[in-house]
Each structure stands twice: as C-alpha cells, then as structure tokens.
A and B are shown apart, each in its own frame.
Chain A
C-alpha cells in the first residue's frame, strides 16, 4: 500500500490519481471493451461521447485506516504553516519591543489550544518525515547497506540535538 510507504503517497510523478481517483481508470478500461458482438445504438451512446464516470467517493479518506493516517499526515502541513506564522509574530513582537503583548496573546486559552494541536502535528510530522529517510537515501559502506534503523536513529538523534541547542539558546545562551 503506497499510502503507508511513501511520504505523501505520490513520489515519482504527480498525482496519477490519489486513492479517490482510482475508480476512473477502471471505468475507462471498461469503455474500451465490447469490441466483439453487436453494438446496439443505446450502448454506443453510452460508451462513446460522455463515457462512464463512477461517482467520486467523497469520504475516501475515511474508508481505511491507512487512508486516514495518510490524510492526517498531510494535514500536518497546515500546522507547519501556522507555526511559521506564529514564529513570525513572535519575531515581529521582539523587534517591536512588544513581547509582553505577544505573551498575553499566546496565553489566551484558544491560542494555547491551537498550539497544543500544532505541537502534536509538528511532532507527528517530524517522526514520520524523519523515518522516511532510509527510503530516499541508500547508504552503502563497502557494499554493506546501512540498515534503515541506523539512518532513522541518526535522524532522530539529530532532531534531539538540534532541539536541545535551540532550547539552550532561547532559554539561556552564553551569558
């Protein structure tokens, strides 16, 4: 199932039909058939001009767990964008000298709620995106292929180190 293996389900060429579009190809194939036998006028009308289009399944992402996870992972990008907006607001406040105002805004309950969700989303994004690296990068040492867990482990260690460095400079820095 590609939705589980690939970062966004469609590496190696755009679209080609997400899960939702899959029905169409099958429909088109069916139209091409019927070469033998007698073609009645009504069948000809049905298979030539408009073609057969199955109805779009509007809830395709709710049909299987894999699709739901795929969509949830894709939607983390909305919170990645939000985090950047929030960060830019913080930077603007620091440069303006209005950090207190920003802190008051950030302490509003709805703002905290958004940011808790944003935290969950960015962590989910980080875990899934960093776990993906071995699929994109094959490291060979003297013919020995580095196993996936080593690359993933390296990525997660790097994530930890970068987070620690950022936290250090934000909270303390070299006094």
Chain B
C-alpha cells in the first residue's frame, strides 16, 4: 500500500519555524512601535532613518521571511484552535484553505511592498 502524501508535516514545520521567529522578533517590535512610541515614552525615529533601514536589501528579505513565517504560524494555530473551540473540525478543508489562504495573501502583500 502506498502511503498518501500529506502536506501536514510541512505545515507543522512552518508552524514551528514561525513560532520561533515570532518569539524572537515580535515582542520588541510591538513594544517599541505599538506601546512605547505611541505613549511618548520613546521618541519616534526620523522617517528618513526608518526609510534608510528599509533600503537595505537584507532588511527587506528578513522582513518578508518574518511576515511569511509568522503568518503561517498564526494560520496553523488559528485553524486548529478554531476547530476545537467552535467544534468545526468537520469543516477542516475550508477552514484550512481560509487560514493558509489569508497567510499567503499577507505574504503577497509583503513581497509587493518590499520587493
């Protein structure tokens, strides 16, 4: 009997890779741009300075990788959690398509912004 190929292992791989990336980079970014700067505790950097950072090819590539991995991580977890919380595991295929589809759409947005 031939084993049926399943995308699940790759999805789990993306999930855990995204989990590590999200853990390492997101808290500090949210802390700075989402909390400290809006509250005025830290000054916003000059627009030119941030623009300069984004002009580095390395920063752009890193940002795209961060966006794609984190979105896949979130999509995978939201897929499973919504199925367990709401009891909709019967609709796994549409739920999965919706979650991963949204992640792919976000990745496309990132590539178009930074490409």
Most buried by A among B15, B25, B67, B84: B84
In the bound complex, do residue A91 and residue B63 qualify as a contact, i.e. CB atoms below 8 Å apart? Answer: yes
In the bound complex, do residue A86 and residue B33 qualify as a contact, i.e. CB atoms below 8 Å apart? Answer: yes
Question: Nearest-CB distance from B68 to chain A (Å)?
Answer: 9
Most buried by B among A81, A85, A95, A126: A81
Which one of B15, B30, B37, B109 contacts A119 once the chains associate, using CB atoms below 8 Å? B30
In the bound complex, do residue A58 and residue B87 qualify as a contact, i.e. CB atoms below 8 Å apart? Answer: yes
Q: Please tell me if B5 contacts chain A, counting CB pairs below 8 Å.
A: no
Please, which residues of chain A bring their CB within 8 A of the CB of B81?
8, 71, 74-75, 77
In the bound complex, do residue B84 and residue A115 qualify as a contact, i.e. CB atoms below 8 Å apart? Answer: no
Q: Please tell me if A112 contacts chain B, counting CB pairs below 8 Å.
A: yes
In the bound complex, do residue A84 and residue B24 qualify as a contact, i.e. CB atoms below 8 Å apart? Answer: no
The distance in angstroms between the C-alpha atoms of A18 and B67, with both chains bound, is 29
Which one of B28, B67, B83, B89 contacts A88 once the chains associate, using CB atoms below 8 Å? B67
In the bound complex, do residue A163 and residue B27 qualify as a contact, i.e. CB atoms below 8 Å apart? Answer: yes
Which one of B37, B53, B76, B87 contacts A173 once the chains associate, using CB atoms below 8 Å? B53
In the bound complex, do residue B89 and residue A15 qualify as a contact, i.e. CB atoms below 8 Å apart? Answer: yes
In the bound complex, do residue B44 and residue A99 qualify as a contact, i.e. CB atoms below 8 Å apart? Answer: yes
Q: Report A92-113 CB contacts with B as 1/0, cut-off 8 Å.
A: 1011010110010011000110
Main secondary structure, interface of B, reads helix
- Measured CB to CB, the nearest residue on chain A to B43 is A171
In the bound complex, do residue B24 and residue A126 qualify as a contact, i.e. CB atoms below 8 Å apart? Answer: yes
Q: Report B75-115 CB contacts with A as 1/0, cut-off 8 Å.
A: 11110110111010100000000000000001001100110
- Measured CB to CB, the nearest residue on chain A to B6 is A14
Main secondary structure, interface of A, reads helix
In the bound complex, do residue B80 and residue A15 qualify as a contact, i.e. CB atoms below 8 Å apart? Answer: yes
Q: Please tell me if A129 contacts chain B, counting CB pairs below 8 Å.
A: yes
Please, which residues of chain B bring their CB within 8 A of the CB of A126?
22-24, 26-27
Which one of A14, A71, A169 contacts B85 once the chains associate, using CB atoms below 8 Å? A71
Question: Nearest-CB distance from A92 to chain B (Å)?
Answer: 6
The distance in angstroms between the C-alpha atoms of A112 and B41, with both chains bound, is 13
Q: Please tell me if B57 contacts chain A, counting CB pairs below 8 Å.
A: no
In the bound complex, do residue B77 and residue A77 qualify as a contact, i.e. CB atoms below 8 Å apart? Answer: yes
12 pairs across A/B with beta carbons < 8 Å? Answer: A7-B19, A78-B74, A83-B26, A86-B34, A88-B113, A91-B54, A91-B63, A91-B113, A95-B51, A99-B50, A126-B26, A162-B24
B interface residues (Cβ-Cβ under 8 A, vs A) = 8, 12, 15-16, 18-20, 22-35, 37-39, 42, 44-45, 47, 49-54, 63, 66-67, 70-71, 73-78, 80-81, 83-85, 87, 89, 106, 109-110, 113-114
- Which 5 residue pairs spanning A and B have beta carbons closest together? A115-B34, A77-B77, A126-B23, A18-B84, A163-B28
